[in-house]
Amino acid sequence: MLEHLQKQASKPNRVVILGSKGFLARALVEHLASTGIDSVAVGSSEIDLILPDSVTKLGQLLRRDDCLVITSALTPDKGRDVATLMKNLEMARHLASLLENQGCSQVIYISSDSVYSAEDSLIRESSTRQASDLYSLMHIAREQILIQATSKSQTPLCIVCPCAIYGAADTHNSYGPNRFFRTALKDSKITLFGNGEEIRDHILVEDVARLIGLCIAHRSIGILNAATGVAQSFHQVAESIAEIVGAEVTIECLPRSGAITHRHFDPTLRIKAFPDFDLTPLTVGLTKMHRELTSTSNK
Amino acid sequence: MRFESAELAKISINCFLVSSVTTANTLAEICEHTGADWSEIAPALRLDRRIGPHAYLTPGLGIAGGNLERDLVTVRQLASRYGSDAKVVMAWQNNSRYRSAWALRQLHRVVLPRCSHPRIAVWGLTYKAETHSLKNSPAIDLISALAPFKITAFDPVASDSSIHSANLELAPTALAACHKADVLIVMTPWKEFSQIDPLMIQAEMCGRVIIDPFGIITAPGFTHLQLGH
């Protein structure tokens, strides 16, 4: 499911990143800079992919030897409705109309683990894609749109599906490490649904950026799940954060509304593709996140 | 027996073997996480006459060798042609691919987080004991997935000429393969491996981890990882 067109890693001429404001895009820019790779991050204020003129604008920017990383998407916090879905698909339509005719060195599409069925007890890259809501439908549709467009221009496509990403710079207040840290630091309290039994795989944003960097360096094609393969319950994550923050953080349990679901990832493909890639253990990543959050708030 | 039945009887036997092995593999993995021990459960299953004393209940590293895979492909093709539901066969194939990388996952879980460039000893390269065949061998898959690391391997019958991997060196004896190794992985359950004195293994190795899917070694003093335990 993942093939390296370049067995030996090499630097691309340039990486164009769509979605400059995003949490992951910023981490990727930093990572590429740290490895001496030239990159340009393009935000919606420069090229708004929802608008038809984005095709021309991006066409003028994109060079034949560029690697294009697509992180742009309206995330669920911007809306879960049909209008948001259509805007996201409009972006993909414009990208496709460019990529069908103008190829580049490689396209990397940042998808989501939401594309996989919630019923799968162990997710791997070959797992069935099944939409559970309009957001996951959007990513599934975009993946297909890009597969079709890049095949026309014979551009290598790599689809990266990250599991739950955490890191200090995340602006989303989603349930998990990001929200737990904020409430622990602000109110000395972490609130869980039920007892936080749900098991999830959490990955540090810098690790996802490094994995994308490896896909770029090897011009990988196919699908890669950016996941650690080590899943923990939200309760375990909350306990780790409470211990890191200290100062008598309490864990509060609220009645849950939905059924308990778990999500595990099989890391086999990743460890075969990148055998010496070292992941940051969750407690180490959370400690780093805490250090960054508290140093930011102290400034 | 008519010709069609005879052909399908042979395939049916292999499907039943695969289903038993896959079921054993799935439940053995649950044992690994829950503290149960598959070696205590399997004898109870053998007492059930619907399963039987000779049932394929030993967990392994997926289906290898080629014949069973060939028959699974045939069943899928027949199901596709005649519109039968063969998703269970796909599930067996997926499970086999997953199990074949068990040792690799253990290595990444237990050894690599503590030792970024381990010296790895591998015992056994053939797809099963008492054969020369390397076809679909999990050991060969493992070695190719460990390209950045130095591997020293020993196999009683596989020869130099049949294996080509830049990161692999073949040792003249099992103990020589263990010299200064951080981890030993036993990929084929050759009987002679079980007769090697664990103290001699301990004396040769630097590390104290043995990944021994089939439980062929008794190794006190080691972190010993085995299927179903």
pLDDT tens-place string over residues B91-129: 999 999 999 999 999 999 999 988 888 999 999 999 889
| DSSP-assigned letter for residue A3 | E
Q: What angle do CA B123, B126, B127 make, to 5 degrees?
A: 115
The CATH number of the domain covering residues in A167-201+230-261+280-294: 3.90.25.10
Q: Are A12 and A65 in contact (CB under 8 A)?
A: yes
Contact A276 B148 (CB under 8 A): yes
Q: Are B100 and B62 in contact (CB under 8 A)?
A: yes
Same domain, yes or no: B51 and B132 = no
Same domain, yes or no: B221 and B140 = yes
Question: Following CA atoms A170, A173, A176, A182 in sequence, which dihedral angle do they give, to the nearest 10 degrees?
Answer: 80
pLDDT, position A296: 63
Mean pLDDT of B23-49: 95
Closest-CA residue of A relative to B114 is: A278
Same domain, yes or no: B83 and B115 = no
The CATH number of whichever domain residue B120 belongs to comes to 3.40.50.720
pLDDT, position B44: 97
A275 → closest Cβ in B94, B109, B145: B145
Among B119, B103, B138, residue whose Cα is nearest residue B224: B103
Greater confidence (B132 vs B83) lies with B83
Q: Are B129 and B205 in contact (CB under 8 A)?
A: no
Chain A positions touching B117 (Cβ under 8 A) are: 276
- Quick: pLDDT tens for A242-286: 999 987 899 999 998 888 889 999 999 999 999 989 999 999 999
Contact B113 A266 (CB under 8 A): no
CA distance B151 to chain A (A): 14
pLDDT averages per 10-residue partition of chain A, 299 residues:
93 95 94 96 95 95 96 89 96 96 96 91 93 95 98 97 94 89 93 94 97 98 97 96 91 89 94 93 96 76
Model ipTM? 0.84
For residue B23, pLDDT over 60 is answered with yes
**Is A267 an interface residue toward B (CB < 8 Å)?**
yes
CATH superfamily of domain region A2-164+203-226? NAD(P)-binding Rossmann-like Domain (3.40.50.720)
Specify the amino acid at residue B70: R
pLDDT, position B190: 95
Give me the domain span that covers residue B19: 3-100
Band the pLDDT of B161: cuts 50, 70, 90. low
Same domain, yes or no: B49 and B152 = no
How many residues are given for chain B? 229
Task: Provide the whole-model pTM.
Answer: 0.90
**Is A229 an interface residue toward B (CB < 8 Å)?**
yes
For chain B, the farthest-separated pair of C-alpha atoms sits apart, in whole angstroms, at 61
Same domain, yes or no: B83 and B108 = no
Number of domains in chain B: 2
